[in-house]
Structure 1
Amino acid sequence: MKFLIIIPAHNEENNLPFTLESLQQQSLRDFKVVVVNDGSTDGTSEVIRKYTDQDSRFETINLQKSAHQPGSKVVAAFKKGLETQNINDFDIICKFDSDIILEENYLQTVADVFAKNSDYGLVGGLLYVEKNGDWVYEGNSNKHHVRGPMKAYRKESFLQMGGLRETLGWDNIDAILLQNSGWKEVVIPELHVKLIKVKGADYTIKPADYYGRYFYFLGLNRFLTYVAAAKEAMKIKSPAFLFQIISSYEKCKSQNLELKISKDEQKVINQQRWDMFKKKWFKI
């Protein structure tokens, strides 16, 4: 199987070398990497050039700097990289972050899993972060969800869901739409991916505003949003946090901000969330 790996990067001169080196050391050699240099002002270009000059599997494109908005910026950069390639030349489409380190057998293991399971549409490992000198499970998400930094899609499933959406929540929308089309999302727990930078470290958006916008752009209805907001507020035991999330959500709704998903896709997402709610609370 041939991999197309697209890596959006903005001011990642300190982290990107680890990512590209781990790719160059992969036991599976049949891949192409496109690094999308998204308006970097540091030494990111020089880092990229080191690999493109010596290895024909590495390519790059340069974009003008865009505003840092959670979700939409990284997907927009990903799409620019995708436009430079003929997707028909590849079997697996990957969106990787520029601050991860992969084990040498990562791509080969993913390829083997896809080859043995024709209904697998999205595959990835588990994220680990450094804590007190040790690499520990990042733990911000369940172990059955492939996180945004290391998405690997079967080409057919990627095309069927219409690619990635330039919106907050894109890395949950993809999984829901794939599963609704009959594809499986599978995490390979023995594959550990080291995340150098903590998720959201560059975001300037406040947590409550983030959640409110996230639930809105995910297409959730009011009931499911309020339930999800209450869950987040309970985690930190803050009633005020609940109302701040709701306020952010309602603000987006009153402004009628554009969604990147269709009405039918909204129904799919809400139905999936409703099914999860019933299963957890009513055992239905």
Structure 2
Amino acid sequence: MKVKFLIIIPAHNEENNLSFTLDSLQQQSFKDFKVVIVNDGSTDGTSEVIKKYTDNDSRFETVNLQKSAHQPGSKVVNAFKNGLNTQNIDEFEIICKFDADIILSENYLEKVENSFKNNPKYGLIGGLLYVEKDGDWVYEGNSNKHHVRGPMKAYRKESFIQMGGIRETLGWDNIDSILLENLGWKEIVLPELHVKLIKVKGADYTIKPADYYGRYFYFLGLNRFLAYVASSKEAMKSKSVSFFFNIIKAYENCCSNKLELKISKHEQKIINDQRWNMLKKKWLKM
């Protein structure tokens, strides 16, 4: 008999946050799930936190890794894949990548499961991220409300397999959306599902914002024209001309060094075509 959910949670030095995430899973109204916590070289008390759950709840398992390089995107996906490789995914119906610093509402899994069951073309489902501000939980607002953010991805197994899983690269959580859409699957945000994000994303990255965007546009597979357009958009948000040139410098450095992309030429074309269509629709009104 299949288990509905396989939930994989990469965790690095999350002793202050992880228990909130795991408690919210134990409190789910939908109980048919398995959780694999991937302890990615933690040096704090993360392993002790994990042990409290694995010792007392058979649905919780752990995988221990040596610390990997802390690069945006690739580190967390590497940990996720290590967790996934310990499981037989034929035994599950829905594959989730959750962060170790989120709190889910009690009906989260139930709502996701019902949505997948009632809508056979749904390939990726999630809620909306909320952060604490002045004592209140407010919508994070870092992305449009139709995009499932990286901390709370739930994939229909068939869609996950068809797109070849998630990529170990910066931009993975946009690449998956584009590839799934191209394959005919729908990415769905359920706005009534509020996911509390305990800490701000990117707070522990040392990479500078301009370098981040330059690398992000490169690893997303954007051609030079679309990368420059995207860079100008970010520069306009920051009201900084120098920010534009710094992003471009980072992008061109990646090009010069011919850094390896984790997407195929065909997938790169899909992503560029999608970006170009968005550009025509939003900017050129075509």
Task: Report the TM range for the smaller structure's normalisation.
Answer: over 0.9
Shift of 1:217: 0.2
Aligned ranges 1:174-189 → 2 under 5 Å: 174-189=176-191
* Corresponding residue of 2:205: 203
Query: What amino acid sits opposite 2:109 in the alignment?
Result: L
Q: Which runs of 4+ in 1 moved over 3 A?
A: none
1:53 to 43, 55, 79: 55
* Corresponding residue of 1:149: 151
Aligned ranges 1:1-284 → 2 under 5 Å: 2-284=4-286
Uncovered stretches (5+) of structure 2, i.e. residues with no partner: none
Give deviations 1:80-114, integer Å, cap 9, x for gaps. 00001110000000000000000000000000000
Give deviations 1:213-261, integer Å, cap 9, x for gaps. 0000000001100000000000010000000000000000000000000
Shift of 1:10: 0.3
2-structure distance, mates of 1:184, 1:198 = 28
2-structure distance, mates of 1:204, 1:236 = 19
Query: What amino acid sits opposite 2:52 in the alignment?
Result: K
2-structure distance, mates of 1:216, 1:44 = 34
Aligned-pair identity in percent equals 80
Q: Is the partner of 1:65 in helix, strand or coil?
A: coil
Q: Is the partner of 1:3 in helix, strand or coil?
A: strand
Shift of 1:282: 1.9
Q: Is the partner of 2:170 in helix, strand or coil?
A: coil
Q: Is the partner of 1:50 in helix, strand or coil?
A: helix
Query: What amino acid sits opposite 2:16 in the alignment?
Result: N
2-structure distance, mates of 1:283, 1:29 = 47
Q: What do you get for the CA RMSD once the two structures are aligned?
A: 0.5
Shift of 1:283: 1.8
Give deviations 1:7-47, integer Å, cap 9, x for gaps. 00000000000000000000000000000000001000000
Q: Is the partner of 1:189 in helix, strand or coil?
A: strand
Q: Is the partner of 2:277 in helix, strand or coil?
A: helix
Query: What amino acid sits opposite 1:279 in the alignment?
Result: K
2-structure distance, mates of 1:66, 1:153 = 25
2-structure distance, mates of 1:2, 1:245 = 42
2-structure distance, mates of 1:272, 1:248 = 23
Give deviations 1:250-278, integer Å, cap 9, x for gaps. 00000000000000000000000000000
2-structure distance, mates of 1:129, 1:218 = 27
2-structure distance, mates of 1:201, 1:161 = 30
1-structure distance, mates of 2:253, 2:283 = 29
Q: Is the partner of 2:200 in helix, strand or coil?
A: coil
1-structure distance, mates of 2:107, 2:175 = 28
Query: What amino acid sits opposite 1:8 in the alignment?
Result: P
2-structure distance, mates of 1:70, 1:172 = 13
TM-score (norm 1): 0.99
2-structure distance, mates of 1:40, 1:203 = 16
2-structure distance, mates of 1:213, 1:281 = 24
2-structure distance, mates of 1:79, 1:255 = 26
Q: Is the partner of 1:56 in helix, strand or coil?
A: coil
